[in-house]
């Protein structure tokens, strides 16, 4: 199970990474986040959606309503330049952590 | 039967209860629910289960609402809820509207403000354009910053230094040979030479130069090759104008022109005319060899050539100057002469003895800024006087949320709009007054509308806007609205002292300008009218003896028969031209003690008629006379200054030696001025026959035209080819003081402007004061005050201001004007009278300006006055 704290720390970079490929709508993004976490997530879709809203307030993503083939409009999210900058810096941080964790996992194989 | 839409509506109700969830979020949540529902249906759940699973997946409304609330709080914490946006474009339109409304409503004030600013800016624009023109001299040469002119400095034992532009013949080569930093050097001689096609020759400014001259300076060749143009000694390069003058549209290359006495020259090149902005006044360039043929050019004795050098790129002029300073000691060990380098770009600006055009550039730039300052002061004082009226507007704006910054930018913006309108008017004014200003400044510069000028105009407008709008902007924006509405700021309160200071500064500047103008005028009058030791009127100067030299006696006898001709003589140069000179190493005299020397001696070549023609008195002994044959070779005459410098007790009969001449002093001539009055009279020696080349004729004041005609006819009878061009000596001498005359004219115009602008300010302020005191005047009149006493009330105020202005203007004026006078050897005594006069003049003009307003206020009917408002 991924804890709330770890999820809180990793959701933003994961969403940014998803959006760095192309724009997407809320439900799709949330499903991708859930898949990445292997379904071990304590958060509901609605809570995850509030993260997207917060990221928009912080200027990392922008959104606009679009109708694509269906009758209902959907809110599509797109990464901003600031979002890309934050993503790059987060990626570097996470790689650093991963490196450290990999190192520790070699020393303590039993715990890995 | 399960109804999806109904279930969703029910589900929505929970969400709608949450305050923190806005409509947009609700729509988002519903979409999430629907998407999840579809997925579960696809996975095989029935409708009801799929809905339940989807609702669980989206999550409970309270926890989602809580997450959104956290988001909102985080954002609210980051930004104050009442924060105004930094920039409100909607208000800019309002600011502009208000600015124009003010102009429309208060036409009088706006006219004074804008007209004053426009005149100030126009003046500033003209003067700064002129300054730019003056500073751009010589810049068209590609290597302008690497070119230097070599100056010779003669040092006296007393520490005095005399400068000359000429240097010795071998110096140019020696400089290039000894210092690798010097990559080119060239000697030049310039002369007014008769040159042209046979039968059509005119005097032109001809430069004789070493071939390297063409490498140092940048000339644009229209025809011919600069590399070979001077390789033949008998070649000549003409300017386009001169080539056109003689050859019209024919190709001049290879054609012959005649120069000097009878020298044939082949045209080898045509260059574009030298721009006006150069000290190189060239019509034709000829190889130097033609003038130096047969001379010994290895001797270090005479200072005859102007030498130019070009340094390697990146070499420092100062370093090279330090290295070459004492070079002459190497070749003439006893010399007291050193050499100095004068940058090409400084030639037009800096005089060798200090000062020069740069002084005028500084003076006029300062004047331009002061004029602008006076115009800005008008604006500031009027705006601050109007502050009480604007205060209410500022107060209301503050109450409805305007911040200080916004008010400042509004008021600054307003003054910027005023100054922008003024600048546009100023550009038109500058164009209109350009010809008049060109006459004043003495050259044909243009106010060109290049990017630089536009930047200058916009810069001036912005500076003026900020300067003039700063006081109202900063003061009005600081005032608390409550004070304004309580009426504490009614009379323009805080601004009173400030306005007084501004008006006093303005009046002080006006007094200073008028004082300066009067002093300059008086000094120029002295320069032009001082008795020079001889009567300078009615002397005709003929620049050349071409053709006359061999027939001089015949010409003289013919002319002297005319009773209107009082005297005729030949001289080496006229009294306004630089003389030949000798330095201490070639001067000695009988009775000279060890350690005594004459550092600098002017040598004047004369003939026997010099004293009679010019009417100069002798102090001792006699003048040269044809009765004494020895006078022709062995006699010399010195002036009083020379006797004093040599400390001779009884000079008559003493031996004197200069250059290679040995002789006896037969007379001491009274000191007379032979150079401009900037300088003291220097020691001088006269000798018969040295380098005689100019003719001076004294005529009587009656029937001048007929006498001139007679002279021309008689000379042409004997020398038909003579081209009769004359000048009057007093006019030539006047030319020496052209800079001072120009300054007098400009100072006069600027003083007029200063007083005009100050009066505009005073007029505006008087009108405002009269308006402010309307009620007071009405009450005073009801209580029995007379028109006179009320007018006096106004006058008193202004008299006090003028007195205060004097406290600034007096020390400032005496200091600055005193310093300017320092550069004249002969100067006026400033005296307090001139100062009192300028001060009184300003007072008179100010009172005259105020009179109109104060009398109008004083004669108004008291009922109207009391009813006012």
pLDDT tens, position by position, B81-111:
455 555 566 677 777 777 778 777 777 777 7
pLDDT value, residue B772:
75
Q: How far apart are the first and last CA of chain A?
A: 15
B124-138, B156-170, B345-359, B502-516: least confidently modelled range:
B156-170
pLDDT value, residue B267:
93
pLDDT value, residue B96:
77
- In this complex, the residue of B25, B32, B60 whose CB is nearest that of residue A27 is B32
Asked if B31 lies within 8 A of A53 by C-beta distance, the reply is no
pLDDT value, residue B84:
53
Highest mean pLDDT out of B356-360, B498-502, B664-668, B865-869: B664-668
Residues in chain B: 869
* Secondary element (H or E) of residue B618: strand B618-621
Helix %, strand %, coil % of chain A (to 5):
65, 15, 20
Instruction: Report whether B339 contacts B157 (CB < 8 A).
Output: no
Q: Which residue carries 């008299």 as its tokens?
A: B799
Query: Taking CB atoms and an 8 Å cutoff, what residues of chain B touch A54?
Result: 71, 74
Can you tell me the distance from the alpha carbon of B580 to that of B146, in angstroms, rounded to the nearest whole number? 30
- In this complex, the residue of A26, A43, A54 whose CB is nearest that of residue B32 is A26
Can you tell me the distance from the alpha carbon of B550 to that of B237, in angstroms, rounded to the nearest whole number? 31
Q: How many other CB atoms are there within 10 angstroms of residue B559's CB atom?
A: 21
Cβ contacts of residue B677 below 8 Å, gap of 6+?
B526, B527, B530, B737, B824, B825, B826
Q: Per-residue pLDDT tens for A82-99?
A: 999 999 999 999 999 889
Assessment of whether the complete model's pTM goes beyond 0.80: no
Rounded mean pLDDT, A34-62: 82
Can you tell me the distance from the alpha carbon of B303 to that of B148, in angstroms, rounded to the nearest whole number? 18
pLDDT value, residue B387:
65
Paired tokens of B492: 């323009």
Residue B147 pLDDT > 90: yes
Rounded mean pLDDT, A62-70: 79
pLDDT value, residue B777:
83
- In A, minimum Cα distance to B78 occurs at A58
Rounded to a whole number of angstroms, the distance from the CA of B401 to the nearest CA of chain A is 27
Of A9 and B320, which is predicted with more confidence?
Answer: B320
pLDDT value, residue B40:
92
* Secondary element (H or E) of residue B264: strand B263-271
Q: How many other CB atoms are there within 10 angstroms of residue B869's CB atom?
A: 5
Paired tokens of B823: 């550069």
pLDDT value, residue B80:
53
pLDDT value, residue B120:
85
Residue B868 pLDDT > 70: no
pLDDT value, residue B53:
92
Paired tokens of B753: 């402007």
Quote the Cα angle for B404-B406-B408, to 5°. Answer: 70
Q: Hey, is the C-beta of B25 within 8 angstroms of any chain A C-beta? A: yes
Instruction: Look over chain B and give the mean of its residue pLDDT values, rounded to a whole number.
Output: 83
- In this complex, the residue of B58, B70, B75 whose CB is nearest that of residue A45 is B58
Asked if A49 lies within 8 A of B64 by C-beta distance, the reply is yes
Residue B699 pLDDT > 80: yes
This complex has an ipTM of 0.85
Residue B494 pLDDT > 60: no
Instruction: Report whether B540 contacts B696 (CB < 8 A).
Output: yes
Asked if B31 lies within 8 A of A27 by C-beta distance, the reply is yes
Rounded mean pLDDT, B105-125: 81
Residue B531 pLDDT > 70: yes
Residues in chain A: 112
Query: Taking CB atoms and an 8 Å cutoff, what residues of chain B touch A44?
Result: 56-60, 63-64
Residue A101 pLDDT > 70: yes
Asked if B31 lies within 8 A of A74 by C-beta distance, the reply is yes
Q: With bands split at pLDDT 50, 70 and 90, how would you rate the model's confidence at B510?
A: confident
Q: Could you tell me where the beta strands, DSSP code E, fall in B647-759?
A: 655-658, 661-669, 684-688, 694-699, 726-728
Q: With bands split at pLDDT 50, 70 and 90, how would you rate the model's confidence at B52?
A: very high
pLDDT value, residue B192:
79
B205-214, B331-340, B387-396, B549-558: least confidently modelled range:
B387-396
Q: Hey, is the C-beta of B31 within 8 angstroms of any chain A C-beta? A: yes
pLDDT value, residue B498:
73
Q: With bands split at pLDDT 50, 70 and 90, how would you rate the model's confidence at B867?
A: low
pLDDT value, residue A84:
94
Q: With bands split at pLDDT 50, 70 and 90, how would you rate the model's confidence at B297?
A: confident
Asked if B64 lies within 8 A of A50 by C-beta distance, the reply is yes
Q: Which residue carries 């060798």 as its tokens?
A: B352
Which region, left, alpha or beta, applies to residue B289 given φ > 0 means left and ψ of -120 to 50 means alpha?
alpha
Question: How big is chain A by its Cα radius of gyration, in Å?
Answer: 16
pLDDT value, residue A111:
47
Query: Taking CB atoms and an 8 Å cutoff, what residues of chain A touch B35?
Result: 27
Q: With bands split at pLDDT 50, 70 and 90, how would you rate the model's confidence at B869?
A: low
Q: B462-473 in b/e burial notation, b at 16+ Cβ within 10 A?
A: ebbbebbbbbbb
Residue B51 pLDDT > 80: yes
Angle between helices B404-441 and B107-135 (to 10 degrees): 60
Rounded mean pLDDT, B274-293: 88
Paired tokens of B862: 């008291």
pLDDT value, residue B285:
93
Instruction: Report whether B743 contacts B520 (CB < 8 A).
Output: yes
Closest CA to B154 of B163, B146, B141: B163
Q: For a pLDDT cut of 90, what percent of chain B falls above it?
A: 18
Query: Taking CB atoms and an 8 Å cutoff, what residues of chain A touch B68?
Result: 50, 53
Q: Per-residue pLDDT tens for B572-597?
A: 877 666 667 776 677 888 888 877 77
How far, in whole angstroms, is CA B675 from its chain's centroid?
A: 26
Residue B485 pLDDT > 80: no
Q: With bands split at pLDDT 50, 70 and 90, how would you rate the model's confidence at B639?
A: very high
Asked if B68 lies within 8 A of A75 by C-beta distance, the reply is no
Q: Per-residue pLDDT tens for B429-474?
A: 888 888 888 887 776 666 666 677 677 777 877 877 787 777 777 7
Q: B841-865 in b/e burial notation, b at 16+ Cβ within 10 A?
A: bbbebbbebbeebbbebbebebeeb
Q: With bands split at pLDDT 50, 70 and 90, how would you rate the model's confidence at B491?
A: very low
Closest CA to B794 of B856, B739, B703, B720: B856
Closest CA to B725 of B526, B502, B545, B513: B545
Of B30 and B159, which is predicted with more confidence?
Answer: B30
Q: With bands split at pLDDT 50, 70 and 90, how would you rate the model's confidence at A62?
A: very high
- In this complex, the residue of B25, B32, B71 whose CB is nearest that of residue A45 is B32
Asked if B36 lies within 8 A of A53 by C-beta distance, the reply is no
Rounded to a whole number of angstroms, the distance from the CA of B402 to the nearest CA of chain A is 28
């Amino acid at each position: 199970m991924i804890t709330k704290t770890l999820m809180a720390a990793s959701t933003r970079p994961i969403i940014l990474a998803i959006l760095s490929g192309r724009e997407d709508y809320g439900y799709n993004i949330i499903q991708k986040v859930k898949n990445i976490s292997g379904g071990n997530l304590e958060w509901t879709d609605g809570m995850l959606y509030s993260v997207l809203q917060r990221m928009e307030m912080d200027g990392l993503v922008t959104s606009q309503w679009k109708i694509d083939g269906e009758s209902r409009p959907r809110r599509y999210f797109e990464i901003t330049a600031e979002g890309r900058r934050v993503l790059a810096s987060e990626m570097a941080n996470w790689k650093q952590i991963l490196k450290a964790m990999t190192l520790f996992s070699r020393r303590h194989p039993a715990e890995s | 039967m399960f109804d999806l839409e109904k279930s969703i509506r029910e589900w929505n109700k929970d969400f709608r209860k949450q305050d923190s969830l806005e409509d947009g979020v609700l729509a988002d949540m519903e979409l999430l629910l629907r998407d999840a529902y579809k997925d579960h249906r696809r996975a095989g759940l029935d409708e009801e289960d799929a809905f339940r699973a989807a609702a669980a997946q989206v999550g409970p409304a309270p926890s989602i609402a809580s997450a959104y609330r956290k988001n909102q709080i985080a954002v609210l914490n980051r930004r104050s809820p009442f924060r105004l946006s930094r920039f409100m474009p909607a208000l800019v339109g309002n600011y502009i509207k208000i600015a124009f409304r003010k102009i429309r409503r208060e036409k009088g004030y706006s006219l004074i403000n804008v007209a004053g600013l426009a005149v100030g800016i126009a003046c500033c624009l003209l003067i700064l354009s002129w300054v730019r023109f003056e500073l751009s001299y010589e810049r068209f040469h590609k290597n302008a910053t690497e070119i230097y002119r070599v100056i010779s400095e003669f040092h006296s034992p007393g520490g005095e230094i005399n400068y000359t532009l000429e240097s010795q013949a071998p110096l140019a080569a020696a400089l290039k040979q000894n210092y690798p930093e010097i990559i080119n050097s060239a000697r030049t001689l310039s002369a007014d030479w008769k040159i042209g096609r046979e039968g059509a020759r005119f005097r032109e400014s001809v430069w004789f130069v070493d071939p390297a001259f063409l490498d140092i300076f940048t000339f644009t060749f229209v025809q011919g090759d600069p590399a070979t143009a001077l390789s033949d000694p008998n070649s000549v390069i003409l300017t386009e104008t001169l080539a056109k003058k003689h050859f019209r549209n024919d190709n001049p290359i290879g054609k012959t022109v005649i120069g000097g006495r009878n020298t044939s020259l082949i045209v080898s090149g045509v260059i574009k005319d030298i721009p006006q902005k150069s000290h190189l006044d060239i019509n034709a360039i000829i190889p130097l060899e033609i003038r130096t043929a047969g001379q010994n050019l290895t001797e270090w004795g005479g200072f005859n050539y102007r030498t130019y050098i070009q340094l390697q790129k990146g070499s420092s002029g100062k370093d090279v100057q330090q290295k070459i300073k004492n070079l002459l000691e190497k070749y003439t060990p006893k010399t007291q002469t050193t050499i100095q380098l004068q940058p090409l770009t400084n030639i037009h600006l800096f005089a060798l003895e200090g000062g020069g055009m740069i002084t005028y550039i500084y003076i006029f730039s300062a004047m331009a800024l002061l004029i602008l300052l006076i115009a800005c002061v008008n604006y500031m004082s009027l705006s601050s006087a109007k502050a009480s009226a604007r205060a209410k507007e500022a107060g209301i704006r503050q109450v409805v949320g305007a911040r200080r910054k916004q008010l400042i930018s509004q008021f600054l913006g307003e003054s910027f709009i005023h100054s922008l309108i003024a600048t546009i008017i100023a550009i038109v004014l500058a164009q209109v007054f350009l010809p008049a200003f060109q006459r004043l400044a003495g050259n044909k510069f243009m106010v060109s509308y290049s990017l630089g000028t536009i930047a200058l105009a916009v810069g001036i407008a912005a500076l003026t806007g900020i300067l003039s709008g700063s006081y109202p902007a900063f003061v009005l924006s600081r005032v608390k609205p409550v004070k304004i509405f309580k009426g504490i700021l009614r009379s323009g309160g805080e601004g009173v002292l400030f306005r007084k200071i501004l008006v006093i500064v303005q009046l002080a500047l006006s007094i200073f300008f008028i004082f300066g103008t009067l002093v300059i005028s008086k000094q120029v009058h002295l320069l032009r009218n001082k008795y020079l030791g001889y009567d300078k009127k009615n002397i005709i100067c003929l620049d050349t003896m071409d053709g006359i030299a061999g027939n001089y006696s015949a010409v003289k006898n013919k002319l002297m028969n005319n009773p209107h001709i009082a005297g005729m003589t030949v001289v080496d140069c006229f009294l306004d031209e630089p003389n030949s000179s000798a330095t201490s190493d070639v001067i000695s005299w009988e009775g000279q003690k060890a350690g005594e020397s004459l550092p600098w001696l002017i040598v004047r070549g004369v003939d026997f008629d010099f004293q009679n023609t010019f009417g100069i008195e002798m102090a001792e002994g006699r003048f040269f006379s044809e009765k004494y044959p020895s006078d022709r070779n062995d006699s010399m005459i010195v002036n009083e200054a020379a006797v004093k410098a040599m400390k001779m007790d009884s000079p008559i009969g003493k031996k004197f030696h200069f250059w290679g001449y040995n002789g006896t002093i037969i007379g001491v001539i009274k000191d007379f001025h032979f150079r401009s009055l900037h300088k003291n009279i220097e020691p001088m020696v006269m000798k018969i026959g040295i380098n005689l080349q100019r003719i001076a004729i004294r005529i009587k004041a009656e029937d001048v035209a007929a006498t001139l005609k007679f002279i021309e006819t008689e000379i042409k009878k004997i020398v038909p080819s003579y081209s009769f061009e004359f000048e009057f000596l007093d006019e030539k001498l006047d030319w020496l003081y052209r800079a001072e005359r120009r300054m007098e004219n400009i100072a006069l115009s600027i003083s007029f402007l200063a007083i005009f602008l100050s009066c505009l300010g005073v007029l505006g302020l008087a009108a405002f004061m009269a308006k402010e005191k309307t009620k007071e005047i009405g009450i005073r009149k009801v209580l029995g005050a007379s028109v006179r006493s009320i007018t006096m009330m106004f006058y008193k105020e202004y008299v006090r201001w003028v007195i205060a202005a004097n406290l600034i203007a007096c020390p400032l004026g005496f200091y600055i004007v005193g310093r300017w006078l320092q550069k004249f050897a002969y100067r006026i005594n400033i005296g307090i009278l001139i100062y009192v006069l300028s001060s009184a003049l300003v007072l008179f003009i100010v009172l005259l300006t105020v009179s109109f307003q104060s009398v109008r206020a004083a004669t108004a009917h008291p009922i109207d006055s009391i009813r006012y408002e």
